[in-house]
Amino acid sequence: MARRKPAIVHGVMLVDKPAGLTSHDVVGLLRRRLGERRIGHAGTLDPDATGLLVIGVGRATRLLRFATASTKRYRTDIVLGVETNTLDAGGEVTDTHVMDSVTLDKVVAAAKLLTGEIEQIPPMVSAIKVDGKRLHELARAGVEIDRAPRPVTISRFDVEATDDPLVYAATVECSAGTYIRSLGADLGHALGGGAHKTNLRREASGVFNVGEASGPDTAILLPVEEMLRGMQRVVVDSEAAVPVGHGVAIDRTLGVGDGPWAILDETGVLLAVHELEQGQIKVGVVLN
C-alpha cells in the first residue's frame, strides 16, 4: 500500500463561501488550486448559506478542532407562519399558521426565552451519525427517528423587524454545534405557530471575521500560527524547544490560566499546543 505523500503546503485560509456550494465543494476547489490534498474546514455551512469558513491546509488541519470549538455569529431571516420539512426555505411546506397579530415586542420576548443555555433537538437534515448513518441520509429516504436533545449556549439572539411583517432579521451568537434552523423553528413555536429560516450568513467564527475573508478563488494563505490567533502564547528558549518539539509538555508554571496554550520558539515558529487536564498540562498537538 502506497504511503500518502507528506503535505507541502501549510497555512490558514479565510473563505467567504458563496451560496450554492457545499463546504466540501470549497475544500475541493482549494485542493485543486493549491495542489494539496490535506485540507479541512472548521464548521460546516449549508449549501444555501454564505459566509465564513476557516480552512486549515497541511499542518494547520491538526489545529482545526480549536477553531471548530469556538463561538459563532450568524445573521439570518426568520419567516413566521410557514414550517418546512428542512426548517429552511429550501424544504417542502409542512404547515402554515396565521401569525399576523405577532408584534416585534412578542418576537423579542420569545427570543429572550431562547437565550442562554438551552437544549436543541438536532434536525433530521443534519450530518450527525446514528448507527453509522447520517441523519440527512435517513431523511432523504423518508425515515425519521427520535433524536436526543443536545445542550447549546445562545449568548445573543437579537431580532429586528423588516419591511415584511412576517419576516424578522436575527443576529445570533452561539456555541459550536448550534443549529440556527432549529432556533428559527423554535422561535415560531414559542410564538404559537411556526417558522423557518432563510438567508443564513456566518459573520464570525471565534476571533475570525468574514470581513477578512475572500472567495475560494482569491483567499490568501496565512501562516499556520494564525489558526491559534487569540490563544495564549508561551515562548520557550532554544534549549526547551527541542523537547517540546518531541512531545514533552511544558512546566505547569509557564501556562497561565486554563489554556490551551500555543507553544512557540524564540523565532515565532509554532511547536505545539498544550492543554490542561485534571490540573496538569498535557500535550495536545505537536507540529514541529
Write the pLDDT tens digit of every residue in 128-167.
Answer: 666 666 666 665 666 666 677 899 999 999 999 999 999 9
Those residues whose C-beta lies under 8 Å from the C-beta of residue 141, and which sit 6 or more positions away, are: none
Do both 109 and 164 map to the same domain? yes
Instruction: Provide the pLDDT for residue 278.
Output: 80
Residues 186-193 have a mean pLDDT of: 97
Residue 5 lies in a domain: no
pTM (two decimals): 0.90
Q: Does 87 share its domain with 117? A: yes
Q: Is the domain of 219 the same as that of 236?
A: no
Q: Is residue 2 part of a domain?
A: no
Do 218 and 150 lie in one domain? The reply is no
Q: Measure the CA–CA gap between 117 and 276, rounded to whole angstroms.
A: 24
User: Which residues, in sequence order, are CB contacts of 176 under 8 Å at separation 6+?
Assistant: 43, 68, 69, 70, 71, 72
pLDDT digit string (tens) for 35-82? 999 999 998 898 899 999 999 999 999 999 988 888 999 999 999 999
Task: Return the pLDDT at 156.
Answer: 98
Question: Does residue 197 register a pLDDT over 90?
Answer: yes
* Domain-embedded: residue 200: yes
Question: Does some domain include residue 101?
Answer: yes
State the total domains in the chain: 3
- Listed in sequence order, the residues at least 6 apart from 115 whose beta carbon sits closer than 8 Å to its beta carbon are 154, 155, 156, 157
CATH number of the domain that residue 264 is part of:
2.30.130.10
One domain for residues 257 and 282: yes
Question: Is the backbone peptide bond immediately before 6 cis, with ω within 30 degrees of 0?
Answer: no
Per the model's pLDDT, the better-predicted residue between 164 and 251 turns out to be 164
Domain limits for position 129: 72-205
CA-based nearest residue to 11, from 63, 76, 75, 46: 63
- What is residue 132's predicted lDDT score, i.e. its pLDDT? 64
**Predicted pLDDT of residue 139:** 59
Q: Do residues 159 and 259 both lie within one domain?
A: no
CATH of the domain at 17: 3.30.2350.10
pLDDT of residue 126: 66
Indicate if 104 and 199 belong to the same structural domain. yes
Mean pLDDT score across all residues of the chain = 90
Asked, for residue 1, whether it belongs to a domain, the answer is: no
Judged against a pLDDT cut of 90, whether residue 257 lies above it is answered with no
d(CA 183, CA 196): 9
At residue 41, the pLDDT reads 94
Statement: residue 2 has pLDDT above 60:
no
Residue 4 lies in a domain: no
Give the per-residue pLDDT at 264.
92
Given pLDDT bands bounded at 50, 70 and 90, which one contains residue 1?
very low
Determine, yes or no, domain membership for 3: no
Considering the domain boundaries, does residue 36 fall inside one?
yes
Rounded CA separation 233/228 (Å): 9
Per-residue model confidence (pLDDT) at position 5: 74
Same domain, 22 and 36: yes
| Positions marked catalytic | 46
pLDDT at 95: 97
Domain shared by 223 and 237, yes or no: no
- The verdict on 220 and 201 lying in the same domain is no
Up-side HSE of residue 83: CA atoms within 13 Å toward CB? 17
Minimum mean pLDDT range among 36-40, 188-192, 237-241: 237-241
Residues 100 and 217 in one domain: no
Q: Is the pLDDT of residue 195 over 80?
A: yes
Compare 99 and 44 and report the one with higher pLDDT: 99
For position 127, what pLDDT does the model report?
65
In this predicted structure, what is the pLDDT of residue 106?
98
One domain for residues 184 and 280: no
